[in-house]
Amino acid sequence: NAAEFSWPETHLTLEGADFAVVRHKDGSGHFVRLLTYLPGVFFGHIRPHKIELLRNLGIFLASMDRALASFRHPAARRDLKWNMKCAASTVHSRLDDLTDRETRTVVEYFLDRYEKNIASKWSHLRTSVIHNDANDLNVLVGHRSPEPDGMYSKVVGIIDFGDMVDGSPAVELAVGTAYAILGTADPLAAAVPVVSGYHQVLPLTEEELACLYDLIASRLIMSVAISAEQRKAEAANEYLSISERPARELLRRWRVLDPGFAHCAFRQAAAYEPCPHASKIITWLKRPRNRFGPVVELDLEKDGAVLFDLSVGSPELGAWTDSEDREELTRMLFGRMAASGAKVGIGRYNEARRLYTSDLFKTSGNDAPEWRTVHLGIDLFVDPGSAVMAPLDGRVHSFRDNDRPLDYGPTIILEHTAPQGVKFYSLYGHLAKKSMTDLEPGRAVRKGERIGRVGDSQENGGWPPHLHFQIICDLLGYEGDFPGVALPSQRALWLSLCPDPNLVLGMPESLTRPKSRSNEIPEILSLRRRHLGPNLSIAYQRPLKIVRGFGPHLYDEDGQVYLDAVNNVPHVGHGHPKVVRAAQAQMAVLNTNTRYLHDRLVEYALRLKEFLPEPLSVFFFVCSGSEANDLALRLARTHTGQRDTIVVDGAYHGNLSSLIEISPYKFDGPGGRGAPPHVQKVPTPDGYRGLYKSLDPDAGQKYAGHVQEAIERIRGQGRNAAAFVAESLMGSAGQIVYPPGFLDAAFLMIRRAGGVCIADEVQVGFGRVGTHFWGFETQGVVPDIVTMGKPIGNGHPLAAVATTPEIAASFRTGMEYFNTFGGNPVSCAVGLAVLDVLREEELQRNAFEVGRYLKSGLEELKSRHALIGDVRGLGLFIGIEFVLDGASLAPAAAEAAYVAERMRDKRILVSTDGPFRNVIKIKPPLVFTRADADRFIETLDLVLGEDALRPR
Ligand code: PMP
């Protein structure tokens, strides 16, 4: 609705006229008028242009054009150099002003296209009066909400109606789009949302969409030509050439784009079948009268076939962890075929694959890298040398050895003709080189004729021997090759260009359909809403469906790769093969409970003991950090005969009833009911925001003083403290590192009062802090009880309590301690493997080195970005606290949330926490590398520079 937007309005002169004329002394004159001021920020001054904003630009332009649709004015039919109907003369007459040869060449190229494709089309396009200059310094963007995530996502108005002419809505859209996509790495990806927004309000015709690529280019060449002329007139005016440079660069990129592909993309944006003639071809292929021949000699039913699941989350690929290792892949796939006596293995169409998540298939999008993972053909894995036949009549279009590593190797493309002369193609990739020598382009090929043989791994880039068979409705500008995998963001477009090859192969559905059901994200969300506890939270506004993890990386269902900077549970890396093998091997042999003797249980206790100071030598094995902490409380309370517990404000110790009672993070948080009578809270020893700052050398002592006060409060009620429980470094409280001396002093006080000291290492243990194996060691203390969880089993539900023989003895009251799963042989095997990997891969040292490197990079960012108030942490346990103002420390929670979301958009995962949710938590798997740290810092730097974070 055009009324949503604001438009400049004219003020009448004192005489009541729309404008006045100002006369100069020399007799010349100027028209003058007064317009209202429109609030907002120019589109061109805002970065980034998020998809939502680009879409909104389209919606805005279409709303304006809809309002103008019935407007007519005689003056609109005027001669104007900016009128696109005159583009040819505007550009021609200025060609000689284009002194740069490269620019002139590209301008001439698009001028030629204009004359061929557009000049004669005007009568087919709708006509109406248009604004005609929705450039990035005329379009105004406003704040939709005061929060950064809603900022600058809406176009609110436009100025400068001086170029209005009788034009076409398609021109309006083309002009707006041309400027909106300036400076983008992938201009087409940025143009698509503008088109789809426009179409939503004012539907575009197929003819208009067919012109769009050239209309956008036409505006750009007009702009470049006119600036060149102005530059000639005012050679000293640097500004003129500065504004021209991005247009020239965009022309260069636009020239590289395939016009046919852009056409399909625009059609898709407007909800038309992307490839205009795909449906004709598909209808013909589906005709029951068509009988196609086989493409390989084997009879799929008689010779046996196995369907492979090569999807990203495929359990079949479990053992194949390195996406570069194609030899292992070959052994695995052919091994599976041999085992089931099958001569053919089938790889599916429209499958996002784990195989393509390596750097080879990585592209740099406008906002984040994207991997081309969606398979567009069907693979038939067969022995090398197997004959390949033409399944239908056609002629040879091309044969070529495409030998870049991501290509198909030797490839044949045949051309076929459907009724009405519609051409389509079939592609045969990964053939043997010498098998194709007698094929001449243009030669007729009969159905059933042998056209080549399947190549071996040596000649097809190392891939397992197979035929890649693909149908192509439009070869676009490709000659002799064609993409076989597509970006998931362009899936519908490519599937339209390349319909299901099974239309020709005719295999039974059991050999082509996905093996397991996969729900779309909205479907999962709705099932969760109905059938899972409603207070499970979901990370990110755009939830992630993660199906695989390896090392520091997580993979979503489309095979897009995320750098995991927040999950500390997969301590030695997601899916570490050694840990996985240990679990699988032991699982296959025995999994029982601790009432039978087993070597692994005692072996594991002895191994853990090596990492702990005396006298911590007795272990209980449990299944979660919460169970460990609950048991620690029972030990302490039984040992002391007391119940009162002292805890640190902001702490979280677990989800059991007993632990909600001692977790201020929960009992003082949403839905909490405050501290129960037996729990005393002491202030968070936070040297940045807390009572005493880190510059105070006595801060540790002073914070500990509050522990003494808590002891006194308990005494005042006629009781004594049972325990002081503290995380060794605090997680949920906002990645807090205690000031020196805090735990030492507090432990002394508790012990003097007869209580015991419990260190919760669930979050930070096992080398994460880098300098030491345990967090408490950084404070130079020895606790009476240590609880461990999360990283201890790398994701396997394993946790433990370590304590002294004395406390363990007190717990022997006659009541059995039995934990069904705790300490089972599988868990112990996993725990041992984690300790082995930690040592073998020197991960504690890595945490120290990469952590120090990352932290210094973040400190450098702090010196440049006022939003960062504090960077703190040890090893790979780091927090970044965001504040609106360094003096008041007003928490910048919305900004922190924005940063986490934008990092996710750029495929790096972090979370926010702390009492004000203004701390970004960094606690990646310890296999995080220096290169990962570099990427983290660069990305955060970019996000912090975004306009939505400008001071409010
Ligand atoms: N203690 C701390 C410090 C924790 O961070 C957590 C989990 N976030 C727990 C205990 C509870 O562990 P779990 O979720 O495995 O029960």
Ligand 1 centroid to 624 CA: how many Å? 7
What is the C-alpha radius of gyration for the chain, rounded to an integer number of angstroms? 34
In ligand 1, the atom with minimum distance to the C-alpha of 654 is 11
Ligand 1 centroid to 805 CA: how many Å? 25
In ligand 1, the atom with minimum distance to the C-alpha of 790 is 15
Picking from 606, 611, 620, the residue whose alpha carbon sits closest to that of residue 838 is 611
**How many Cβ atoms sit within 10 Å of the Cβ of residue 687?**
23
Ligand 1 centroid to 762 CA: how many Å? 6
Ligand 1 centroid to 642 CA: how many Å? 24
Q: Write out the E strands in 884-943.
A: 908-909, 911-913, 919-922
For a mutational test of ligand 1's pocket, the pick from 647, 652, 661, 827, i.e. the residue with the most ligand atoms closer than 8 A to its C-beta, is 652
**Rounded Cα gap, residues 665 and 679, in angstroms:** 13
Q: What is the pLDDT of residues 368-393, one digit of tens each?
A: 999 999 999 999 999 999 999 999 99
Ligand 1 centroid to 664 CA: how many Å? 14
Nearest alpha carbon, ligand 1 atom 5? 763
Ligand 1 centroid to 876 CA: how many Å? 18
Give the residues surrounding ligand 1 with Cβ less than 6 Å away. 624-626, 629, 652-655, 727, 731, 760, 762-763, 789-790
Residues in a beta bridge with 796: 794
Helix axes 101-113, 206-233, angle to 10 degrees: 150
Ligand 1 centroid to 655 CA: how many Å? 8
Ligand 1 centroid to 829 CA: how many Å? 22
Residues in a beta bridge with 561: 555
Residues contacting residue 439 through CB under 8 Å, at least 6 positions apart: 396, 399, 412, 451, 452
| Cα–Cα distance list, 106 to 218, 220, 516, 936 (Å) | 11, 11, 50, 38
In the sheet where 41-42 sits, what is the strand order? Answer: 41-42, 139-142, 154-158
At 801 the three-state DSSP class reads strand
Inter-residue contact 756 to 785 (CB < 8 Å): yes
| Cα–Cα distance list, 830 to 304, 460, 573, 587, 838 (Å) | 39, 40, 13, 10, 12
Inter-residue contact 589 to 817 (CB < 8 Å): no
Ligand 1 centroid to 748 CA: how many Å? 26
In ligand 1, the atom with minimum distance to the C-alpha of 799 is 15
In ligand 1, the atom with minimum distance to the C-alpha of 797 is 15
pLDDT for 54 equals 97
Nearest alpha carbon, ligand 1 atom 10? 653
DSSP at 115:
I
**Rounded Cα gap, residues 141 and 45, in angstroms:** 9
Ligand 1 centroid to 375 CA: how many Å? 41
Q: For 145-297, where are the alpha helices, taking DSSP H only?
A: 169-180, 187-201, 206-233, 238-256, 259-269, 278-286
Q: How far is CA 413 from the centre of its chain?
A: 35
In ligand 1, the atom with minimum distance to the C-alpha of 629 is 10
Which tokens belong to 36?
């209202």
Inter-residue contact 471 to 504 (CB < 8 Å): yes
In ligand 1, the atom with minimum distance to the C-alpha of 624 is 15
Which tokens belong to 773?
């194996």
DSSP at 88:
H
**Rounded Cα gap, residues 754 and 732, in angstroms:** 29
At 152 the three-state DSSP class reads coil
Ligand 1 centroid to 724 CA: how many Å? 17
Ligand 1 centroid to 888 CA: how many Å? 32
Amino acid at 197: G
Nearest alpha carbon, ligand 1 atom 2? 653
Residue with tokens 């091309």: 398
In the sheet where 919-922 sits, what is the strand order? Answer: 868-874, 877-882, 919-922, 911-913
In three-state form (DSSP H/G/I as H, E/B as E, the rest C), the secondary structure along 471-501 is EECCCCCCCCCCCCEECHHHHHHHHHHCCCC
For a mutational test of ligand 1's pocket, the pick from 630, 786, 790, i.e. the residue with the most ligand atoms closer than 8 A to its C-beta, is 790
Nearest alpha carbon, ligand 1 atom 13? 625
Kindly provide the b/e burial profile for residues 195-208, where b requires at least 16 CB atoms within 10 angstroms of the residue's own CB: bbbbbebbebeeeb
In ligand 1, the atom with minimum distance to the C-alpha of 627 is 16
* Alpha-carbon dihedral sign for residues 609, 610, 616, 617: positive
Helix (H) or strand (E) holding 415: strand 409-418
Q: What is the pLDDT of residues 307-365, one digit of tens each?
A: 999 999 999 887 677 767 888 899 999 999 999 999 999 999 999 999 888 888 899 88
Q: Which residues in the chain land under pLDDT 50?
A: none
For a mutational test of ligand 1's pocket, the pick from 566, 653, 665, i.e. the residue with the most ligand atoms closer than 8 A to its C-beta, is 653
Ligand 1 centroid to 603 CA: how many Å? 25
Ligand 1 centroid to 789 CA: how many Å? 7
For a mutational test of ligand 1's pocket, the pick from 537, 621, 626, i.e. the residue with the most ligand atoms closer than 8 A to its C-beta, is 626
pLDDT for 5 equals 87
pLDDT for 233 equals 85
Ligand 1 centroid to 662 CA: how many Å? 12
pLDDT for 451 equals 94
Ligand 1 centroid to 763 CA: how many Å? 7
Helix (H) or strand (E) holding 857: helix 843-864
| Cα–Cα distance list, 502 to 165, 290, 301, 348 (Å) | 51, 13, 15, 10
Ligand 1 centroid to 561 CA: how many Å? 27
pLDDT for 952 equals 64
pLDDT for 88 equals 95
Q: How far is CA 400 from the centre of its chain?
A: 36
**Rounded Cα gap, residues 849 and 770, in angstroms:** 8
For a mutational test of ligand 1's pocket, the pick from 728, 763, 786, i.e. the residue with the most ligand atoms closer than 8 A to its C-beta, is 763
pLDDT for 578 equals 97
Q: For 723-842, where are the alpha helices, taking DSSP H only?
A: 742-752, 805-810, 825-840
Ligand 1 centroid to 625 CA: how many Å? 5
Ligand 1 centroid to 414 CA: how many Å? 61
In ligand 1, the atom with minimum distance to the C-alpha of 651 is 3
Nearest alpha carbon, ligand 1 atom 16? 626
Which tokens belong to 73?
């004015």
